[in-house]
Amino acid sequence: MNYKINKLNDGHSFKVKSPSNIALIKYWGKYGEQLPSNPSLSITLDNAHTLTTYKISKSDKFELNFKFESMSNEKFQARVEKFFNRAVEFFPFINECRIEMDSMNSFPHSSGIASSAASMSNFASALCEIEKVVTEEDHDEEYYQKKASFMARLGSGSASRSLFPKMSIWGKSVQGSSQEYAIGLDSYDKSFEGICDSIAIVSASEKAVSSSAGHALMNTHPFAKTRFLNACNNFNSLCFALSRGDFKSFAEIVEAEALELHGLMMNSKPSFILMEPNTLAIIAKIRDFRGQTGAKICFTLDAGPNVHILYLKEDEAKVRQFIEEEVRGLCHNNVVIHDHMGNGIEVEYLSRDS
């Protein structure tokens, strides 16, 4: 890469807002350098995001000053440093940058919302913003989106999907997606536009199994082959249901994926049961409510006990009432976080000297 570091004068500063995402087709199992064993599909969220302010200046070596909520945090600083050190291969100008960062998450710690997806996509996008300033080459937005998604993937696989508005897919598929980076998915029926995700917080405890330990369980899992095949079939069926506006099939596939993820964990060695009694109670209530009212509602789960309640915009009022009456009381401290489909990464320049 040809670049001119002198273009990076003192005071080059910008903000990146990057959302988390919730997978409908789950990425669970990987090989090589964070390459997925099956394609995955997610909804980009909006309210659940990371907001980071960057101040970049020229230096004779890589220097990082990371703050979380305006305070030093050694554990986070080490993680962020690791990410930037990994990124030098693709963004060589890092070795001549001083990067000051102040980062915050809009959602509570341990809410089970994927903070690594929001944060890694944030850092990767920031690197592309710096590259746009220092590069001598002329690239279009698509190049930067691919590069940011690729870099985010190396930080955390699911982060590759957080860059794009609305919905995103990652992993080789008939949709033309790649193993290396995610792309946006916009071929869905307009009834899914703005789909809502209310997250019922059943427990706010730390994750019982980290993502990397979880993915590793799939290396020796007795059902791995069947799972990867099922995931591909589910992926294709879900794309079809999305394109036709077929909510019934959508709900069937999305719920099956969530339960399959947890089934795999239950059958792993060692075995993990991440659902709690109230996870099952909320699932039963969602299915009853759907049966009684015909509302377009279903659930998905991440690798934890919290329930993501998905519903179409057209049913928002009645589902919100259902959540207040039937679900909130089953949640830890009565917490439900309301979110919906969002627009992906946003960058705002605070000062640009070059």
Distance of closest approach, residue 128 Cβ to ligand PMV, in angstroms = 20
CA pair distance 204, 110, nearest whole angstrom: 5
Binding residue count for ligand PMV, defined by CB under 6 A: 13
Distance of closest approach, residue 134 Cβ to ligand PMV, in angstroms = 29
Q: Rule CB under 6 A: which of 177-216 touch ligand PMV?
A: 211
Structure tokens at 338: 């309301």
Structure tokens at 154: 């190396």
**Residue of 8, 14, 20, 28 that binds ligand PMV (CB under 6 A):** 28
334 DSSP assignment: G
302 binds ligand PMV (CB under 6 A): yes
Distance of closest approach, residue 155 Cβ to ligand PMV, in angstroms = 9
Give the closest residue to 344 by CA, choosing from 190, 191, 117, 135. Answer: 117
CA pair distance 258, 24, nearest whole angstrom: 8
For ligand PMV, the closer of residues 23 and 253 by Cβ is: 23
**Residue of 3, 14, 16, 23 that binds ligand PMV (CB under 6 A):** 23
158 binds ligand PMV (CB under 6 A): yes
For ligand PMV, the closer of residues 53 and 119 by Cβ is: 119
Which residues lie below 8 Å from residue 143, measured CB to CB, with a gap of 6+? none
Answer yes or no: are the C-beta atoms of 272 and 80 closer than 8 Å.
no
50 binds ligand PMV (CB under 6 A): no
308 binds ligand PMV (CB under 6 A): no
**Residue of 29, 157, 342, 344 that binds ligand PMV (CB under 6 A):** 157
CA pair distance 166, 344, nearest whole angstrom: 7
**Residue of 20, 40, 178, 279 that binds ligand PMV (CB under 6 A):** 40
Q: Where are the alpha helices (DSSP H) in the chain?
A: 74-87, 115-134, 141-155, 211-217, 224-244, 247-266, 277-293, 316-322
Where along the sequence are the contacts to ligand PMV (CB under 6 A)?
23, 26-28, 40, 114, 116, 156-158, 211, 302-303
